Amino acid sequence: MSTTTIAKGITSGLRAAMEKDPKVVLMGEDIGKLGGVFRVTEGLQKDFGEDRVIDTPLAEAGIMGTAIGMALRGYRPVVEIQFDGFVYPAFDHIVSQVAKLHARSLGYVKMPLVIRIPFGGGIGAVEHHSESNETYFAHTAGLRVVACSNPHDAHWMIQQAIESDDPVVFYEPKRRYWDKGEVGDGPDGALGSARVLREGTDLTLLAYGPMVKTCLQAAQAAQEEGRSLEVVDLRSLSPLDEGAILASARKTGRVVVVHEASTFLGIGAEISAMVTERAFYELEAPVLRVGGYNVPYPPSRLEEEFLPDLDRVLDAVDRSLAY
Partner 1 sequence: MSDNEVAPLETAFGVDHHVTTAEAPERPAHEGGPEMVQLLSPEGERVPNAELDALVDELSDEALRGLYRDLVLVRRFDAEATALQRQGELGLWASLLGQEAAQVGSGRAMRRQDYAFPTYREHGVAWTRGVDPVNLLGMFRGVNHGGWDPNEKNFHLYTIIIGAQTLHATGYAMGVQRDGDVGTGDERRDTAVIAYFGDGATSQGDVSEALVFAGVNNSPVVFFCQNNQWAISEPNEKQTRAPLWHRARGFGFPGIRVDGNDVLAVWAVTKQALDAARSGQGPTFVEAFTYRMGAHTTSDDPTKYRVSAEVEVWKHRDPIERYKRWLTTTGKGDADFFDAVDAEADELGTSVRERCLAMPDPQPSEMFDHVYATEHPVTAREKEWFAGYHASFEEEGAR
Q: Which residues are catalytic?
A: 129
Looking at 172-266, list the stretches that DSSP marks H as alpha helix, in order from N- to C-terminal side.
211-224, 242-252
Identity of the residue, 136 or 321, whose beta carbon is nearer to partner 1 in the bound complex:
136
CB of 108 to partner 1, least distance (A): 4
3-state helix, strand, coil in the chain (%, to 5): 40, 20, 40
Does position 72 bind partner 1 by CB under 8 A? yes
- Taking contact as CB under 8 A, which single stretch among the options 109-117, 177-185, 259-267, 311-319 is the one that binds partner 1? 109-117
Q: Which of 6, 14, 25, 237 binds partner 1 (CB under 8 A)?
A: 25
- Taking contact as CB under 8 A, which single stretch among the options 38-46, 137-145, 169-177, 181-189 is the one that binds partner 1? 137-145
Identity of the residue, 233 or 303, whose beta carbon is nearer to partner 1 in the bound complex:
233
**Closest CA relative to residue 255, chosen from 221, 280, 220:** 280
Directed axis angle between helix 242-252 and helix 267-279, to 10°?
60
Identity of the residue, 48 or 306, whose beta carbon is nearer to partner 1 in the bound complex:
48
With a CB cutoff of 8 Å and minimum separation 6, the contacts of 23 are 74, 75, 76
Neighbours of 12 (CB within 10 A): 18
Does position 144 bind partner 1 by CB under 8 A? yes
Q: Which of 10, 14, 40, 68 binds partner 1 (CB under 8 A)?
A: 68
Does position 108 bind partner 1 by CB under 8 A? yes
Identity of the residue, 71 or 215, whose beta carbon is nearer to partner 1 in the bound complex:
71
Q: Which of 182, 242, 311, 318 binds partner 1 (CB under 8 A)?
A: 242
Q: Which of 15, 39, 100, 198 binds partner 1 (CB under 8 A)?
A: 100
- ∠ CA 145-70-135, nearest 5°, is 20
Does position 101 bind partner 1 by CB under 8 A? yes
With a CB cutoff of 8 Å and minimum separation 6, the contacts of 134 are 119, 145, 147, 169, 171, 237, 261, 267
- Taking contact as CB under 8 A, which single stretch among the options 97-105, 172-180, 249-257, 308-316 is the one that binds partner 1? 97-105
**CA 48 to chain CA centroid, nearest Å:** 26
User: CA-to-CA distance for 44 and 35, rounded, in angstroms?
Assistant: 8
- Taking contact as CB under 8 A, which single stretch among the options 37-45, 57-65, 287-295, 307-315 is the one that binds partner 1? 57-65
With a CB cutoff of 8 Å and minimum separation 6, the contacts of 96 are none
Contact 79, 52 (CB under 8 A): no
CB of 135 to partner 1, least distance (A): 15
- Taking contact as CB under 8 A, which single stretch among the options 117-125, 162-170, 227-235, 292-300 is the one that binds partner 1? 162-170
Contact 100, 134 (CB under 8 A): no
CB of 100 to partner 1, least distance (A): 7
Contact 99, 169 (CB under 8 A): no
Identity of the residue, 163 or 309, whose beta carbon is nearer to partner 1 in the bound complex:
163
- Residue 157 has phi, psi (to 5 degrees) of -70, -35
Q: Which of 20, 46, 104, 180 binds partner 1 (CB under 8 A)?
A: 104
User: CA-to-CA distance for 172 and 259, rounded, in angstroms?
Assistant: 14
Q: Where do contacts with partner 1 occur on this chain (CB under 8 A)?
A: 25, 51-52, 54, 56-57, 59, 61-62, 64-75, 89, 92-93, 96-97, 100-110, 112, 141-142, 144, 164-166, 192, 238-240, 242
